[in-house]
Chain A
């Protein structure tokens, strides 16, 4: 079945470091791909999305490119801030399916 695999956390970085959180997927068709962020004590918020191959989603300095050839949707940011500390979830959705398939989440800790 369809699945999403994220790199295990926690990922600990210093402020202004470059961030990559890996996400790969398996799907029988052409899913839409999402990154959600969960700040401490809060619900999940959509961070960015991409709906077809080679699309790049971006928001708040974060970017992710839909790579069909490597079935990946890695999250990147050039210079992280302490306020980026959160749990990041990768997810996919097939148009034919009502459900999102979720990764396990990656906790990101940014130290000043």
Chain B
């Protein structure tokens, strides 16, 4: 059972570079989420999606973009990386009235 798969696990970017964090789930979940977790802190919601073609902003969307062309995939895009985006990024998914399932995270450093 793959569950929620995130790639890459680690990445170092230079300021101003762009990259896409990949997230895919094989549980046919409608709802998907992107969070960031700064050191010693809780989770902050970046974007979420309630189904293919539908996305919405969370608490901290600035500097990020998402798309949801399929049920399975929910990539997160950083266009101009900034040091403030150094964090651990978690993708999660769920179906209605069920708990969220999390991926193992992507550790991103912007230098």
Contact = CB atoms under 8 A, between A and B. Distances in A.
Interface of A: 32, 34, 42-46, 49, 89, 95, 98-100, 102-105, 107
Interface of B: 31, 33, 40-43, 45, 48, 50, 58, 90, 92, 97, 99-105
Contacts of B101: 46
A95 B97 contact: yes
A44 B37 CA distance: 11
A75 to B, nearest CB: 15
B92 to A, nearest CB: 8
B104 A102 contact: no
Contacts of A103: 42
29 contacts: A32-B97, A34-B99, A42-B104, A42-B105, A43-B90, A43-B102, A43-B104, A43-B105, A44-B43, A44-B90, A44-B92, A46-B99, A46-B101, A89-B42, A89-B43, A98-B31, A98-B50, A99-B33, A99-B45, A99-B48, A99-B58, A100-B100, A102-B42, A102-B43, A103-B42, A104-B41, A104-B42, A105-B41, A107-B40
A54 B104 CA distance: 32
**Most B C-beta atoms less than 10 A away, residue of A34, A95, A105:** A105
A107 B37 CA distance: 14
